[in-house]
Amino acid sequence: MGGRNLLLSLAAGAGLAWSVYLGNGLLYRKELLQEVQRKMPAVMQNLEEDFAIDFEGEKPKEGAMFFPFPLLLGMYSFQDNAIEIDAPAFAWKDQSEREEKLESTLRHETGHFYHDLRSEKLGRKSDTCAYESEYTTRFCNLLSEGISGYLQKVTEAEVNKKFLNHREGYYLIKPLMDEFGVQPVVDYIVTHPPEVIGNLRDDVLNYQREIQDALRERK
């Protein structure tokens, strides 16, 4: 009986904590959206200046919402051209940490928007890859996260703490963009989707080599 009561107490406590977490996010949601809208023009301008890219006057939709997974600070919808930021996750941060994390998150998600924008300008599917299998989907996501991580200017220490797709994508993309710049690499990925064999390490190295060879020939 004691064990059962303990479990019930723990469940009740977890439920209360989750309610407070979401409630705090609800109160902060409007303020967060205003912060996002205020920061976005500078974020986009800085990306254009840092990486010699051009958003051509286009901008994503912006939103503040509630994610079911608290560690996810933001996301980009290729279908809706929209950046969404998780209100509860930012509501609990102090002002200085919130400013830093929000700008970093916006750079990352705007990296997805740039990838999406180049796809549309080049007349391709907005998510670039045909989802032929779960593995192909994963590899396409890896490329997308690599592009965004590079524009976010993550450090190696930061990227090594991220999910596998973020790490593998970053290490595939970084040497390419260091050598050729952002737009040529993104445009190649958009117009030449990867042909994968199902071995992640081999596929990463082969696709990286393919892009290097193709872009070096164009120099």
Residue 2's identity, in one-letter code, is G
- Alpha-carbon gap, residue 44 to 120, rounded angstroms: 18
- Alpha-carbon gap, residue 76 to 116, rounded angstroms: 10
Neighbours of 138 (CB within 10 A): 16
Above 50 in pLDDT, residue 12?
A: no
Residue 30's identity, in one-letter code, is K
Residue 188's identity, in one-letter code, is Y
Pairing of strands 61-65, 74-77: unpaired
- Average pLDDT on 145-164 reads 82
- Contact status, residue 148 vs residue 112, Cβ threshold 8 Å: yes
pTM: 0.82
Residue 116's identity, in one-letter code, is D
SS3 62: strand
Residue 113's identity, in one-letter code, is F
Point out the least confidently predicted range of 76-90, 154-168, 173-187: 154-168
Point out the least confidently predicted range of 9-18, 21-30, 92-101: 9-18
